[in-house]
Amino acid sequence: MPTRKATATWTGTLKEGKGHLKGQSGLDMQYAFSSRFEDGPGTNPEELLAAAHAGCYSMALNAALEKNGFSAEYVSTEGNCTVEKIGDGMTISKLKLVTRAKVPGLSAEKFHEFAESTKTGCIVSRALGAVATMELEATLEA
């Protein structure tokens, strides 16, 4: 399996400085204190973590459905990553996945079984196991 690489560079002070993220796939983004801890423009590591979690989950849920004989028309997942001050430091306190899928021939009950088992089974979920709260909202669409 390949090793994926990205670099992050920060220049300046914490509040007035600037960050730059660059990935081997062409990812090239700026971030700052305001985009991370306020509502300023730009990305932040937590947004990228939410995207990675959502992407991994959608792919893993689709694979679980396929492995069990179901063909999803789509699996669409929104990732949410909550950061808050706990004690003296900032902590990722909650991850939430909101997924919707259209899977012909699958009951809502069975869909929720697949969705829940995938929540803790996808690669990124396992890597993020230290996060105190990991929630899932799953909807099977008709």
pLDDT-derived band at 140 (thresholds 50, 70, 90) equals very high
> What would the two tokens of residue 88 be?
């003296």
| Confidence at residue 118, expressed as pLDDT on a 0 to 100 scale | 95
**Percent of the chain whose pLDDT exceeds 90:** 87
Whole-angstrom CA distances from 23 to 5, 10, 81 are 6, 15, 21
DSSP 46-90: HHHHHHHHHHHHHHHHHHHHHHTT---SEEEEEEEEEEEEETTEE
| Pairing state between β 89-102 and 18-23 | unpaired
pLDDT at 1 (0 to 100)? 79
> Does the pLDDT value for residue 131 go beyond 90?
no
